[in-house]
């Protein structure tokens, strides 16, 4: 029965049994087998074999209100017939009734309404043909067995026999040579039923056991004592329960419970179309001797399904979850009742009714339908894409512009504005800015081990040189305007060029930090599979975040120091005083990197790399623009004020002092 449920994918079933020893025994075994095959019980009803009218309404409501369209009815033939009539009377429609035995169709059913229950499927024990049985049935008539009242009544109803005045059947009024094989198959079946075959085997088993008992008694007793002994059922029982033989039909018969043979079953469908046909059709077979997946053989096209339906009846608690979904059990309900939950990101389900979604490997991703895993495409901030190309062009353009500014300063190195701003520090700052712009190119393109190591270390060192050069220029300006008295002991610091030592000292500290970084946890190639759908991003992992933030923090402290010193010296009098420009440049520099930190942490994948590149270019451009653009304007556009007499004519206060 369970194999039939599995075949048609019926997992929501009602169980109906009778309150007898057989019904209660089979109910436990049936539910156990259903659990193994994930078939759920929608409801189970066990009722007495008598008095169905007392439970009629409860039974009617239970069956009709349930979504289960499959009813397994287990009971002896007599009880089952009464129950099927009860089902017809109460018009329980659209149900498939699976019966444990092939049941006969009595004459009285002709008056009942047809078609109220749709599909009866019955299991009958399969057995070979018994030789001579059909000929025996053909020869049976009431004159042969005059004591058989049921045979006489069947003859009377089937062959239109008339009654005599004495209420006795007048057999002479019946058709001559009438035989049971004249009757249609749906009224009288000429073949041996499963119950008849069991009786057939029981008779042979009893004869075999009696024969064995008599042989045993002849061996242990004398003939005289045997004649005085009358066999009793108690004496017969030990021989009967150990009986094993082969019947005339060729079947093995074993009455030992421990060695009971599995039976084969025919699956029978009752055809009732056209109306009243009631034809029993064998549609399949169940054999326990076949392989596990081939025990049930079925001709599905022979099944007479409900009227106007050509497909099997549907009976499930919840519809199947298609690909891309997993089953989520409903709390407090059977395992067959579930909701369909979509698979989460990067998980897939490629079959129906999957318990769990399968996570895709790191090199793959789930498609939008969550039905399969696809290979990820490699992605990085490439030169060929618009963002990478724009950043690379900006880096090259700004580095070229910085080189042009350096050329302007070298060409006009004898002018007052160049001399007044310490040529060596200006050249150092311009050279460092060129490398600042160019180091951003290390972040663009496919990362490798070398570029990953050079990215952060080169960035840290060249920016340290640039910021320390700005700090040296700022200190030089302060010394030039604050230490002007000849008697001051600090005057020698300006004359000796001590501020120039700020650059190597600050750079050495940054190089030491970078060396510790590379020695403990250097940057390495990494992949990011979460930032961009369908791609895995190749990028450089910074290794030790502590070391990265130490290098960045040291650079920020230098910038803050430069900003503070320049801010204090912003109001010093002199035409060539660049303290204001230095203050504004460091303000831009600090603003860029303070903005960088939150944006960098919120960005992912290629955008994170682009944010760092843009911050490098923006901060470097801020230094270039704020410090050198005003000077280039005077050198190239206003050369008339780039001379000593020009300053005097404008009544500039202070003196030009080399710094």
Q: What is the CATH number of the domain that holds 283?
A: 3.40.50.2300
Q: In this structure, what are the phi and psi dihedrals at residue 632, rounded to the nearest 5 degrees? A: -65, -35
| Average pLDDT value for residue range 399-405 | 92
Domain for residue 355, yes or no? yes
Please give the DSSP secondary-structure letter assigned to residue 166: T
**Do 203 and 333 reside in the same domain of the chain?**
no
Q: Is the backbone peptide bond immediately before 266 cis, with ω within 30 degrees of 0?
A: no
Can you tell me the distance from the alpha carbon of 302 to that of 285, in angstroms, rounded to the nearest whole number? 13
Q: Is the domain of 603 the same as that of 498?
A: yes
Do both 331 and 256 map to the same domain?
Answer: no
What pLDDT shows up at residue 647?
A: 44
Closest CA to 140 of 170, 183, 109, 198: 183
Can you give the pLDDT at residue 653?
Answer: 38
Residue 260 is predicted with a pLDDT of 65
> pLDDT: is 302 or 21 the higher one?
302
Considering the domain boundaries, does residue 498 fall inside one?
yes
Look up residue 512 and give its two tokens: 């030491």
Closest to 266 (Cα-Cα) out of 134, 130, 102: 102
Asked if the structure places residue 331 within a domain, the reply is: yes
Whether 288 maps to a domain, the answer reads yes
Name the residue among 360, 281, 626, 642 with its Cα closest to residue 470.
626
Per-residue buried b or exposed e for 346-376, using 16+ beta carbons within 10 Å of the residue's own CB: bbbbeeebbeebbebeeebbbeeebbebeeb
Q: Which pLDDT score is estimated for 659? A: 35
Which tens digit of pLDDT belongs to each residue from 426-461? 888 899 999 999 998 998 888 888 888 888 889 889
Instruction: Give the residue, 419 or 309, on which the prediction is more confident.
Output: 419
Task: Output the pLDDT for position 224.
Answer: 53
pLDDT at 378 over 80: yes
pLDDT score for 658:
39
Is residue 430 domain-resident? yes
pLDDT level of residue 108 (50, 70, 90 thresholds): very low
Residue 110 pLDDT grade (very low, low, confident, very high; cuts 50, 70, 90): very low
Cα–Cα nearest to 579, from 567, 564, 561? 567
Tell which wins on pLDDT, 205 or 484. 205
Identify whether residues 121 and 241 lie together within a single domain. Answer: no
Asked if the model's pLDDT at residue 204 lies above 70, the reply is yes
Q: pLDDT by residue (tens digit) across 31-52?
A: 899 999 889 998 888 777 665 5
- 563 Cα distance to chain centroid: 57
Tokens of 327: 């089953």
| HSE-up of residue 285 (Cα within 13 Å, Cβ side) | 9
Three-class secondary structure of residue 279 per DSSP: strand
In a domain, residue 113? The reply is yes
- How crowded is residue 220: how many other Cβ atoms within 10 Å of its Cβ? 8
Query: Is the entire prediction scored with pTM above 0.75?
Result: no
Is the pLDDT assigned to residue 334 strictly greater than 60?
Answer: yes
Q: What value does the mean pLDDT take over residues 302-319?
A: 78
Q: 72 is written with which tokens?
A: 């397994």
Mean pLDDT of the chain: 78
Residue 80, pLDDT above cutoff 50 = yes
Residue 229's pLDDT band, with cuts at 50, 70 and 90, is low
Query: Which band of pLDDT confidence, cut at 50, 70 and 90, is reported for residue 573?
Result: low
Q: How much is the pLDDT for 254?
A: 82
Rounded alpha-carbon distances, angstroms, from residue 628 to 426, 570, 588: 9, 17, 14
Domain match, 67 and 195 both? no
* Residue 475 pLDDT: 77
Q: Are residues 445 and 358 in the same domain?
A: no
In this structure, of 316-325, 510-519, 569-578, the range with the lowest mean pLDDT score is 569-578
Sheet holding 119-125, edge to edge: 40-47, 12-18, 70-74, 96-99, 119-125, 265-271, 279-286, 296-298
Average pLDDT over residues 157-185: 66
What is the DSSP secondary structure assignment for residue 163, as one 8-state letter? B
Q: How confident is the model at residue 396 (pLDDT cuts 50, 70, 90)?
A: very high
**Could you tell me if 247 and 271 lie in one domain?**
no
Percent with pLDDT over 90 in the chain? 10
Higher local confidence (pLDDT), 199 or 307: 199
- What's the confidence (pLDDT) of residue 170? 46
pLDDT for 652: 41
Relative to beta strand 338-342, strand 347-348 is: unpaired
**Are both 400 and 465 inside the same structural domain?**
yes
Q: Give me the percent of the chain exceeding a pLDDT of 70.
A: 78
Looking at per-residue pLDDT, the higher value among 549 and 276 belongs to 549
Task: Tell me which residue range forms the domain holding 335.
Answer: 325-375
Ranked by mean pLDDT, the top range of 403-417, 470-484, 576-590 is 403-417
Domain-embedded: residue 108? yes
pLDDT of 256-269, one tens digit each?
767 666 778 888 88
* Structure token digits, residue 433: 């800015």
Phi (first) and psi of residue 253, to 5 degrees: -115, 125
Half-sphere exposure (Cβ direction) of 255: Cα atoms closer than 13 Å: 20
Going by C-alpha positions, the residue among 375, 595, 554, 568 that lies closest to residue 456 is 554
Kindly indicate the confidence band of residue 167, based on its pLDDT and cuts at 50, 70 and 90.
very low
Q: Per-residue confidence at 491, pLDDT binned at 50, 70, 90?
A: low
Predicted confidence band of residue 357 (pLDDT cuts 50, 70, 90): very high
How far is Cα 540 from Cα 608, in angstroms, rounded to an integer? 11
**Total structural domains within the chain:** 4
Residues 6+ apart with CB under 8 A from 128: 249, 250, 251
- What pLDDT score does 380 carry? 84
pLDDT of amino acid 168 = 47
In this structure, are 404 and 340 located in the same domain?
A: no
Residues paired with 365 in a beta bridge: 374
Look at 599 and 186; give whichever has higher pLDDT: 599
pLDDT at residue 646 is higher than 50: no
Which residue did the predictor score with more confidence, 220 or 226?
Answer: 220
The predicted pLDDT at position 654 comes to 37
> Based on the domain organization, do 500 and 527 belong to the same domain?
yes
Q: Are 255 and 244 in contact (CB under 8 A)?
A: yes
Least confident of 71-75, 90-94, 413-417, 506-510: 90-94
- Over residues 163-182, the mean pLDDT reads 62
Cβ-based neighbour number of residue 304 at 10 Å? 18
Please state the rounded mean pLDDT for residues 332-357: 89
Per-residue pLDDT at 105: 44
| Pair 243, 274 in one domain | no
**Residue 139 falls inside a structural domain:** no
Which pLDDT value is given to residue 56? 62
Q: Residue 112's pLDDT band (boundaries 50, 70, 90)?
A: very low
Verify that 498 and 393 share a domain, yes or no: yes
Q: Cα–Cα distances in Å, from 87 out to 53, 73, 77, 97, 162?
A: 11, 11, 15, 10, 35
pLDDT digits (tens, 9 = 90+) for 335-346: 888 999 999 988
Give residue 57's pLDDT band: very low, low, confident or very high (50, 70, 90).
low
CATH number at residue 596: 1.20.1070.10
Cβ partners under 8 Å of residue 604, min gap 6: 528, 530, 531
Determine the pLDDT at residue 223: 52
């Amino acid at each position: 029965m369970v194999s039939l449920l599995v075949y048609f994918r019926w997992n929501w079933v009602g169980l109906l049994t009778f309150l007898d020893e057989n019904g209660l025994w089979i109910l436990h075994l049936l539910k156990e087998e259903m659990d193994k095959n994930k078939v759920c019980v929608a409801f189970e009803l066990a009722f007495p074999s008598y008095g169905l009218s007392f439970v009629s309404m409860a039974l009617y409501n239970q069956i009709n209100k349930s979504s289960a369209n499959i009813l397994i009815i287990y009971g002896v033939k007599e009880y089952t017939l009464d129950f099927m009539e009860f089902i017809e009377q109460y018009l329980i429609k659209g149900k498939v009734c699976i019966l444990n035995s092939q049941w006969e169709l009595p004459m009285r059913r002709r008056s009942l309404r047809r078609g109220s229950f749709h599909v009866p499927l019955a299991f009958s024990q399969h057995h070979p043909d018994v030789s001579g049985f059909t000929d025996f049935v053909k020869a049976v008539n009431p004159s042969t067995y005059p004591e058989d009242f049921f045979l006489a009544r069947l003859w009377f109803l089937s062959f239109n026999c008339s009654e005599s005045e004495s209420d006795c059947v007048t057999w002479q009024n019946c058709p001559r040579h009438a035989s049971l094989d004249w009757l249609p198959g749906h009224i009288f079946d000429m073949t041996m039923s499963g119950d008849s075959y069991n009786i057939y085997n029981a008779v042979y088993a009893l004869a075999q056991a009696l024969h064995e008992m008599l042989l045993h008694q002849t061996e242990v007793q004398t003939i005289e004592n045997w004649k005085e002994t009358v066999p009793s059922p108690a004496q017969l029982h030990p021989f009967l329960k150990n009986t094993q033989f082969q019947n005339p039909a060729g079947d093995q018969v074993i009455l030992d419970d421990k060695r009971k043979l599995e039976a084969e079953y025919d699956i029978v469908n009752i055809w009732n179309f056209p109306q009243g046909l009631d034809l029993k059709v064998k549609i399949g077979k169940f054999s326990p001797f076949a392989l596990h997946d081939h025990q049930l053989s079925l001709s599905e096209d022979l099944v007479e399904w409900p009227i106007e339906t050509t497909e099997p009846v549907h009976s499930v608690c919840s519809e199947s979850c298609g690909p891309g979904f997993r089953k989520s059990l409903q709390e407090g309900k059977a395992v067959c009742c579930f909701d369909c939950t979509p698979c989460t990101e990067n998980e897939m389900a490629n079959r129906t009714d999957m318990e769990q979604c399968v996570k895709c490997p790191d090199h793959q991703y789930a498609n939008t339908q969550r039905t399969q895993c696809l290979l990820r495409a490699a992605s990085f901030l490439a030169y060929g894409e618009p963002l990478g190309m724009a950043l690379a062009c900006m880096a090259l353009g700004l580095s070229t512009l910085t080189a042009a500014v350096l050329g302007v300063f070298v060409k006009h190195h004898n002018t007052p504005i160049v001399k007044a701003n310490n040529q060596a520090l200006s050249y150092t700052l311009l050279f460092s800015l060129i490398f600042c712009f160019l180091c951003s190119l290390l972040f663009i393109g496919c990362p490798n081990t070398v570029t990953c190591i050079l990215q952060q270390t080169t960035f840290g060192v060249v920016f340290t040189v640039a910021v320390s050069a700005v700090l040296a220029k700022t200190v030089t300006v302060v010394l030039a305007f604050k230490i002007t008295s000849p008697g001051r002991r600090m005057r020698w610091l300006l004359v000796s060029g001590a501020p120039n030592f700020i650059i190597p000292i600050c750079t050495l500290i940054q190089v030491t930090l970078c060396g510790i970084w590379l020695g403990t946890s250097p940057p390495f190639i990494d992949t990011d599979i979460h930032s961009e759908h369908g791609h895995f991003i190749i990028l450089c992992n910074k290794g030790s975040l502590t070391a990265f933030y130490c290098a960045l923090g040291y650079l920020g402290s230098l910038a803050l120091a430069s900003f503070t010193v320049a801010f204090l010296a912003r109001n010093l009098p002199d035409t060539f005083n660049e303290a204001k420009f230095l203050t504004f440049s460091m303000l831009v520099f600090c603003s860029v990197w303070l903005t960088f930190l939150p944006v960098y942490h919120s960005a992912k994948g290629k955008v994170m790399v682009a944010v760092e590149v843009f911050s490098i270019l923006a901060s470097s451009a801020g230094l270039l623009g704020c410090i050198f653009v005003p000077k280039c304007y005077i050198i190239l556009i206003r050369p008339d004020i780039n001379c000593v007499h020009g300053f005097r004519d404008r009544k500039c206060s202070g003196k030009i002092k080399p710094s």
